[in-house]
């Protein structure tokens, strides 16, 4: 079994944290905020997940800063990307490129819908209420299980 860690930024509705915790259960992993780990800490893990909600079609700035702060070529092991989004499709390329630059082998990505209260949706009570739902969380667990070696 891998030694796994999930780095998560979940600031609005807790959507991404729920997904991270579902994955963590399947991986026997801990979920932490980006500020709780250093690049040196990450070298102790075989598998690291990087995720956040999507804000205006981008991962949260705290997660992006975490990835860009990693030393070029200084990491080893496998990584994956995950996120929740109200409407916009998840564009992982900038984050996966940063992880590859740091030396990780990116082995997958997961995205599901999340309750979105950003403007203009919040003005009308939000969109995708109830998401992620049980089906989404089961899909997150199934995805994580595919990463277990």
Tens-place pLDDT, residues 21-52? 999 999 999 999 999 999 999 999 999 999 99
Phi and psi dihedrals of 73, rounded to 5? 70, 5
Residue 130: per-residue pLDDT: 56
97 membership: H or E segment, kind and range: helix 93-101
* Tokens standing for residue 58: 């981008």
Percent of the chain with pLDDT over 70: 82
E strand spans, the chain: 4-9, 30-32, 47-55, 58-59, 78-85, 105-113
Distances (CA, A) of 32 to 4, 5, 43, 62, 84: 11, 8, 15, 12, 17
pLDDT category at 70 given cuts 50, 70, 90 is: very high
Pairing assessment for the beta strands 47-55 and 58-59 based on DSSP bridges: antiparallel
Of 60 and 54, the one with more pLDDT: 60
* Tokens standing for residue 23: 């994955």
- Mean pLDDT, rounded, for 68-77: 93
Residue 123: per-residue pLDDT: 43
Question: Are the C-beta atoms of residues 11 and 60 closer than 8 Å to each other?
Answer: yes
pLDDT category at 127 given cuts 50, 70, 90 is: very low
Residue 58: per-residue pLDDT: 81
Could you give the CA distance from residue 113 to residue 13 in angstroms, rounded to a whole number?
A: 12
Residue 94: per-residue pLDDT: 87
Count of domains observed in the chain: 1
Residue 85: per-residue pLDDT: 75
141 membership: H or E segment, kind and range: helix 134-146
Residue 20: per-residue pLDDT: 96
Q: Domain of 139? A: 4-147
pLDDT category at 15 given cuts 50, 70, 90 is: confident
- Total count of residues recorded for the chain: 149
Q: Read off the CATH number of the domain in which 45 is found.
A: 3.40.50.360
Of 34 and 12, the one with more pLDDT: 34
Of 148 and 69, the one with more pLDDT: 69
């Amino acid at each position: 079994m891998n030694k796994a860690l999930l780095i998560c930024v979940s600031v609005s509705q807790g959507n991404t944290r729920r997904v991270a915790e579902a994955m963590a259960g399947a991986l026997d992993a801990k979920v932490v905020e980006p500020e709780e780990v250093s690049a040196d800490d990450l070298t102790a893990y075989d598998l690291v997940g990087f995720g956040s909600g999507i804000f205006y079609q981008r991962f949260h700035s705290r997660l992006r800063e975490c990835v860009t702060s990693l030393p070029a070529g200084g990491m080893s092991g496998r990584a994956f990307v995950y996120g929740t989004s109200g409407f916009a499709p998840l564009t992982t390329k900038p984050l996966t490129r940063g992880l590859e630059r740091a030396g990780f082998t990116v082995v997958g990505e997961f995205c599901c819908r999340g309750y979105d209260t950003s403007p203009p949706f919040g003005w009308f009570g939000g969109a995708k209420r109830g998401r992620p739902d049980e089906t989404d969380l089961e899909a997150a667990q199934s995805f994580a299980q595919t990463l277990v070696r």
